Chain A
Amino acid sequence: MIERIKQKTTSILKMQDSFFYLIDIAKENSFNKDTLLLNFSHLSPYKNSNILPFQDDISLFLWFYKDNATPIFIPEAYLLYLKLKEINQNTIFIIKDDTINKIIVIKDDRLQSAFCSSDMNSLQKFSLSQEYSIDNIIEISNIKAKSILEESFRTYPIWNYQKWYISDIPIKKKAISYIDKAVIPLSIIIAIFIVLEYSKDLYIKDKYQALENEYLSIKKQNDSYREALKSNKKYIEFNNNFYYDILLYPNIISVLSKVSSIIKEDDNNTIKYFKLSGATVTFQVETFKPIDILNASLNSDFFNKFKIVSTRKAGRKSKKELVSYEGKLKLLRDIDEAN
């Protein structure tokens, strides 16, 4: 994947299309591209040239090239140097081609020079050897050089590209320059954001106002209904409370009527006394069948409890009994809940 990206985005800067220049520098010095162009552009053989710098601790490698398209590239000489120095660290390498010779000079493990020459005879080789004080000259065929170059390009790590293409400007300065460039677009974005937000805010307020008006209008229509509901509720509540808390027990006339009908089931029964106060009902009956009256009263819906309080003979000769009964009335609430 990384290899594919490298292949697609990077190309090799041919030796014949560039001019190499080496400068010795102090360790702490650093340069940006603009400074280098300002100081060394006069060395370039091209009229409109650009510069590709590479810096190590003691050297500054400069490649000048024609300033037209500026793809990301790595100098061919540098890639060859990386592999050739493994062969020998003090050698003049001559890559022979049909038309041009590429000369790479490596001395003390450093790239000293890289250039092209149309002709390279023994005299020129001798003068090169003298110039760089290097006796060792190795000639390499173009085919072998190609394979070395391809191998070097393939193995050159992609993360090393930042050494070539990331400028040495301090981060702070770089950040400021970016901010400087971004101020106007940023201000425009902020302005657009403010306008949009403000419009949205206005829309929300208008929407709320419209809803509030709608609400007030419907509410007004419902006000009378609301009052009527409230009044109904109050009336129902009052009636319930009156019924269950004031009337409390079943109507006395109904209770009396029920008791009378129970007693009158037998014509021989005679009621002597009846009292109803609060929940308590007491009555006295002369009867032959006291238990029948007890059972009928218990089966009526009026009483919670019902009992015979006392019983005695109605008279010396009478076979009837005088029976006193007592019952507790159910509450109206209990009767309604049971139903």
Chain B
Amino acid sequence: MKQTNILLLLISFTLLVNFNNYIDSDETKDIKKIKAITKRIESEKQLLEEKKNFIELKKNLSIFFDSSKDNSILLGLFQKNVKQMAKESEFKISNISWGEPTVNKKLNLVILPLKVVAKSTPYAFGLFSKKLLDYKKLIKIDMISLRKNRKEIGYNMYLFAYKKLNQESKNEE
């Protein structure tokens, strides 16, 4: 066999083997990548279509107290507003005391409790309840007990207001 042919054959096969290894691995990888990116493009196009019908929700987080303010300040404000609503509805509060604020870690919420003791007519309680429901911040009556006492009714209740924690105020807590 001619030496030039041997050399040519060796070079050809060396090139072929090396090239084949390079091409094989790379091509398979690229084809997989192409398939994956084509799928992604399809889903992005679908998302683009959905976008046309999207309505963003109005996020009303103002029903919670200001997260930047201290719990004591907020409890003071809460108490003041409750008293104001009671006065406006002639709901006679004899005593308000603060409960211990607690944190709901799952929802990042601080619960601000007030204990209210009052003596009033059912009509005044009705007005007071309506005011509580209409108040700009969310108030939950967590416990209530009513006892008839001559012409009036005695009321014992816990009112809860809420403060939404952001990450920074959570760390402070």
Give the interface of A toward B (CB within 8 A): 176, 179-180, 183-184, 186-187, 190-191, 193-194, 197-198, 200-201, 204-205, 207-208, 211-212, 214-215, 218-219, 221-222, 225-226, 228-229, 231-232, 235-236, 238, 241-242, 245-247, 251-253, 256, 270-278
Flag B105-129 by CB within 8 Å of A: 1 or 0 each: 0110101000000000000000001
Which residue from chain A places its CB closest to the CB of B164 in the assembled complex?
A: A238
**Shortest CB–CB separation between residue A211 and chain B, in angstroms?**
5
B162 surroundings in chain A (CB, below 8 A): 246
Judged by a CB distance under 8 angstroms, whether B12 is at the interface is yes
**For residue B148, which residue of chain A has the nearest CB?**
A272
14 contacts between A and B (CB under 8 A): A176-B1, A184-B5, A187-B9, A194-B16, A215-B37, A222-B47, A222-B51, A225-B51, A226-B47, A241-B107, A242-B107, A245-B106, A273-B145, A277-B143
When A208-B34, A245-B107, A247-B140 are in contact, do A180 and B23 touch as well, CB less than 8 Å? no
Are B27's CB and A204's CB within 8 A? yes
| Residues in A neighbouring B93, C-beta threshold 8 A | none
Given A215-B40, A232-B57, verify A271-B30 contact (CB < 8 Å): no
Determine the residue in chain B with the shortest Cβ distance to A277: B143
Chain B facing A: main interface SS: helix
- B106, A214: Cβ atoms under 8 Å? no
The CA of A205 and the CA of B132, in the complex, are separated in Å by 67
Query: Are A179 and B1 in contact, with the CB atoms below 8 A?
Result: yes
* A208 touching B33 in the complex, CB below 8 Å, given contacts A232-B56, A274-B145, A275-B146: yes
Instruction: Give the distance in Å from the alpha carbon of A236 to the alpha carbon of B111 in the complex.
Output: 20
Within 8 Å by CB of A246, from B23, B41, B104, lies B104
When the two chains form their complex, are residues A183 and B8 in contact, meaning their CB atoms are under 8 A apart? yes
Does B144 make an interface contact (CB < 8 A)?
Answer: yes
Q: A208-B34, A253-B141 are in contact. Are A225 and B12 (CB under 8 A)?
A: no
Assembled-state Cα–Cα distance A251/B129 (Å): 11
Contact (A275, B144) CB under 8 Å given A193-B16, A201-B26, A219-B44: yes
The reply to whether B12 and A186 contact each other, CB–CB distance below 8 Å, is: yes
User: Contacts A211-B37, A228-B56 known; A190 to B12 CB distance under 8 Å?
Assistant: yes
User: Whose C-beta in chain B lies nearest to the C-beta of A197?
Assistant: B23
For chain B, residues 61 to 76, give those with C-beta under 8 angstroms from any C-beta of chain A: none
Given the contacts A201-B26, A208-B33, A275-B146, A225 and B41 also touching, CB distance less than 8 Å: no
B105 to chain A, nearest CB (A): 12
Q: In the complex, which of the residues A231, A241, A253 contacts B106, with contact meaning CB atoms closer than 8 Å?
A: A241
Contact A276 B144 (CB under 8 A): yes
Q: Do A222 and B41 contact each other (CB < 8 Å), given the known contacts A183-B9, A194-B15, A208-B30?
A: no
Give which listed residue, A200, A231, A256, contacts B27 with CB less than 8 A: A200
Residues facing A in B1-42 (CB within 8 A) are: 1-2, 5, 8-9, 11-13, 15-16, 19-20, 23, 26-27, 30-31, 33-34, 37-38, 40-41
CB contacts (< 8 Å) of A272 on chain B: these are 147-148
Distance of B51 from chain A, by nearest CB (Å): 4
Taking the closest CB of chain A, its distance from the CB of B131, in whole angstroms, is: 11
Task: Name the prevailing secondary structure of the A interface residues.
Answer: helix
Question: Knowing that A205-B30, A241-B106, A270-B148 are A-B contacts, what are 15 other residue pairs whose CB atoms are under 8 Å apart, sorted by A's residue number?
Answer: A183-B12, A187-B9, A190-B15, A197-B23, A200-B27, A208-B37, A219-B44, A228-B56, A231-B56, A235-B57, A242-B107, A252-B144, A271-B148, A273-B146, A273-B148
Partner of B107, one of A176, A228, A238: A238
Q: How far is the CA of A204 from the CA of B129 in the complex (A)?
A: 71
A-side contacts of B144, CB under 8 Å: 252, 256, 274-277
B77 at the interface (CB under 8 A from A): no
- Quick one: given A232-B57, A275-B145, are A218 and B1 in contact (CB under 8 Å)? no
Q: Provide the bound-state CA to CA distance between A225 and B44, in Å.
A: 11
Whether B1 contacts A180 by the Cβ 8 Å rule is: yes
**Which of A180, A214, A236, A253 makes the CB contact (< 8 A) with B2?**
A180
Q: Which residues of A contact B41 (CB under 8 A)?
A: 211, 214-215, 218
A229 to B23, CA, bound (A): 42
- Measured between beta carbons, the chain B residues less than 8 angstroms from A212 are 37
Smallest CB separation, B120 vs chain A (Å):
14
Q: Is the CB of A276 within 8 A of B143?
A: yes
Partner of B8, one of A187, A198, A219: A187
B37/A218 in contact, CB under 8 A: no
Q: Given A194-B19, A245-B107, do A231 and B59 touch, yes or no (CB 8 Å)?
A: yes
Knowing A252-B144, A272-B148, A273-B148 are in contact, say whether A222-B44 is a contact too (CB < 8 A).
Answer: yes
Q: Smallest CB–CB gap between A81 and chain B, Å? A: 41
Greatest chain B CB density within 10 A among A179, A218, A251 is at A218
